[in-house]
Structure 1
Amino acid sequence: MVVVGGGLAGARTAEALRERGFEGDLTILGDETERPYERPPLSKGYLLGTDERDSFVRHAHWADEQEVRLRTGVTVTAIDRASQHVLDAGGGRTDYDHLVLATGSEPNRLDVPGAWLEGVVSLRTLDDSDRLRVLLAASPRVVVVGGGWIGLEVAAAARAAGCEVTVLVRGDAPLHGVLGPELAAMFAALHRENGVDLRVRTQVRALVPGGDGVRVGAVELDDGTLLPADLVVVAVGARPRVALAQAAGLDVGDGVLTDAHLRTSDPRVLAVGDLAAVAHPFLGARVRVEHWDAALHHGETVAATVLGADEPYDRLPYFFTDQFDLGMEYTGWIGPAGYDEVVVRGDLAARELVAFWLRDGRVLAGMNVNVWDVVDDVQALIRSRTRIDPTRLADPTTPLTA
């Protein structure tokens, strides 16, 4: 077994194979120099300074314990499917019987003048988070471009570091495309109450250098407004790293296309994590999830597939966030058909609630905000595909199990 990608998805694949009794050779080729680690703390606890590296980075003896040949700092440049080997930038060749692609995603960049200036950063890797922690301590004025999960988490961390923070959002509200207007407004209010200058329906025209001509000094908006900035954090989404798979002739789209068992168009090659666009048997659609939960659990399906078990991947998408005093978990999938109703159970003004997105009376997704231990019940409602009375759903005295 060869795994290309040394992040959480790759590490969990190796662990799952060993847990299920795989005794063959296991090699992980990772282009980062760090041991496998989990990414959520990079924009949450680690960036805030409350999480230690040891809590989310695999320990120094992990590879030995798993009997894994872990090669860090190795960039795979080509896959030869006919001869079943991969080539790396150092001239090495690694043969495989099965190959697992775990190359993840990479941040989108701003395509505007000045995007190359010093002080313009994005957040994806542990090195990025280390650098950003230092920069936040030395940057009084921070502009975050993008109002998705990473952008808002960075904004919260920057406020905790004492920075003046402006968040720029192209749409009507942060997270509008994910949560819709009803719940996106809650996150907008949260950030404004915590001192964030949140600007919506705004685009960046250019990043302007400061007096030295090297570092960023301001952000120019599409209406000509200049926002002084010591640091600009670009958080405008990510794209799957499909180039390696595409060059090898595998089927790609928004990610590498897999069946429910995570096999690509070549059954000897599988894909996991952010990279995998999975034919999801429960949702009846191809779904690619850029979140920790998929990276954590895809490996279990890969192990089952390689070892001959019929265990398709049908977990419902799940993710979580922590911003200021708000903690949230979201589970489910709305899909391109959208929703026709949002039901709130609890106190929206106090930000203690469970929200449900419904279509035709059936729950598609649920989000618990500062309310805990309900994810299993929410997932059971989704999986039941039962038409539910929204009045009962909104009533906190009616158990979700009822």
Structure 2
Amino acid sequence: MFDVNEIRKDFPILSRKVNGYPLVYLDNAATSQKPQQVIDCIVDYYSNYNANIHRGVHTLSQEATDKYEAARNTIKEHFNASKTSEIIYTSGTTHSINLVASGFTSLLKKGDEIIVSALEHHSNIVPWQMLCERTGAVLKVIPMNQEGVLDMDAYVDLLNDKTQLVFVNHISNALGIINPIKFIIDQAHRVGAVVLIDGAQACSHVKVDFQALDCDFYVTSAHKMCGPTGVGILYGKEAWLEKLPPYQGGGEMIAEVSFEKTTYAGLPHKFEAGTPNICGGIAFGAAIDYLNTIGFSEIAKQEEMLLEYANKKLLEIEGLKIYGTGSEKTSVISFNIEGLHPYDIGTIIDKLGIAVRTGHHCAQPVMDFFNIPGTVRASFAFYNTIEEVDALVSAVKKAKMMLS
């Protein structure tokens, strides 16, 4: 049975106070909190078997290597990749996207077309703009409507024999809208285009199946899945990972080095130059194990309940407008109150112990579309409660009264 009060005991930070009030942490779209099980995993690594991996014959190195590669296999199994070698450790989603963008520099030509969506995080816009500058490719954008939903008819019209790459987020970090990525992938493949899905916001809410989606690349970060910062993955189909050149040169990614010629290691090490975030990779595996212990169906039920309740209660506040009102949505509410700046609201409710995010959420084109400077974003996780939603609503009402 799902018991949110028991689950909250796993998260030590949730028992602290902020400005004399119990912490209400509603900034999960920026990063999730970490359970004691993940914290213990990190402490165990540095306390008992800290060593560099893949190179040492001594016991500590072998133990660290085994646990690091076991975590890679945990990630592979969780996401249903076909091979462990298709899981590339990176420093996070942004690193993963830049790795792919760099690799396609030699594979595109002037006049080729790249498609992104109007809902993208800056990390899934800027690397592709830079790629276009390097190659002469042209960037096209899937438009969205006033509900924050992408226009699939317009998307299909954008696809043609010049389309080489399509990049779309699974879930919008700014609005919480869930995009129809299976349709997007299938339509792109119809014209021979390659698809990368930014799953940074999705993987804490849904259990993603790489093979069922048939995506060419999928990227995500550990820190939004109850894992540590500074580690993530790039999943790529083996055929595409073999085609892409290495992103960085150095130790670990080589087979042989001489001053005349270097040959590169096979997958996944070809893309993993240098000493990695060993502890982070191991802890990522521990975080996935923890989430699977909770169960993604239970996580979804709790978060859907919180979203529905928060949506209802917030809309009772006069002048409050929610952005991103499509029917397919996860537990993110982005809102403003007429006549008030989101930063001012966020500052006041922080004094009451409420942690939300304010601003453009690294999705400035989304805010420009709505002609607003930003929003207040409350993002819920499975460890949040109805009582915390009530505290948020009460704090927003107080902020409105103080600022009006």
Normalising by structure 1, report the TM-score.
Answer: 0.29
More strand by share: 1
Normalising by structure 2, report the TM-score.
Answer: 0.29
